[in-house]
A and B are shown apart, each in its own frame.
Chain A
Amino acid sequence: EAQVTQNPRYLITVTGKKLTVTCSQNMNHEYMSWYRQDPGLGLRQIYYSMNVEVTDKGDVPEGYKVSRKEKRNFPLILESPSPNQTSLYFCASSLSPTTASTSYEQYFGPGTRLTVT
């Protein structure tokens, strides 16, 4: 089954304790992205990756890191989490959007609800 998986689904942690949220897709997609979703703000992009070893900042990258060492995995790293990073996080993947005829249809994971106290 084609899917994007995220782990963990729920995480409660304390300020300053480094954490990693994993994301994996089995569709051989080039493009992967991380979003955070907060009430009334829709989805805001944190980082995205056009392909292996190619990553770039989205709208709200501060406090986050990513890596893309393999095509299928795109982990999100919070080196020193703070309470303002409490949010619902989504990973998404799609075919490369560089082709004019290609859709930007992104496949989303189930979400990771993070609480930082």
Chain B
Amino acid sequence: GESVGLHLPTLSVQEGDNSIINCAYSNSASDYFIWYKQESGKGPQFIIDIRSNMDKRQGQRVTVLLNKTVKHLSLQIAATQPGDSAVYFCAENIGGSNYQLIWGAGTKLIIKP
């Protein structure tokens, strides 16, 4: 079946550096993508989303890039801080009457001091 996947299960980044978390999706009909952050012992929290009619969207210290040609999504975190340590999930929605989000397995971001 079609699924959202992640290239790396764990990413270690030096504090202050930029982090890039990647996500590959396989459903070309997907029209909406979303990133969530999950800290240990908590539920996922919304970070940023993007629709398929865009290729870039910026938030506070975060940028999401969408490349529909290669079905690739990335989350960039600028000046990574210790509080950014978490598992990051990408999710997609294939649109139409289906309101389900299909979630990737997650990438664990580790911040090195």
Contacts and interface: CB of A to CB of B under 8 A. Distances in A.
Interface residues of B, number: 20
A41 interface: yes
A1 interface: no
A103 interface: yes
Interface stretch (A11-19, A65-73, A75-83, A105-113): A105-113
Contact of A31 (B91, B99, B103, B104): B99
Interface in B59-113: 89, 91, 93, 99-101, 103-106
Contact of B89 (A42, A97, A107): A42
A92 B37 CA distance: 14
Contacts of A40: 105
Given A48-B99, A59-B100, A105-B46, 19 more contacts: A40-B105, A42-B89, A44-B103, A45-B100, A48-B100, A58-B100, A90-B44, A97-B99, A103-B34, A104-B93, A104-B99, A104-B101, A105-B49, A106-B44, A106-B46, A108-B43, A109-B43, A110-B42, A111-B43
A4 B44 CA distance: 12
B103 A43 contact: yes
B105 A90 contact: no
A2 to B, nearest CB: 13
Interface string A87-117: 0001010000110000111111111000000
B94 to A, nearest CB: 12
Of B4, B45, B46, B100, chain A has the most CB atoms within 10 Å of the CB of B100
B104 A42 contact: yes
Interface in A17-59: 31, 40-45, 48, 50, 58-59
Interface string B1-28: 0001000000000000000000000000
Contacts of B100: 45, 48, 58-59
Contacts of A90: 43-44
A43 B106 CA distance: 9
Contacts of A45: 100-101
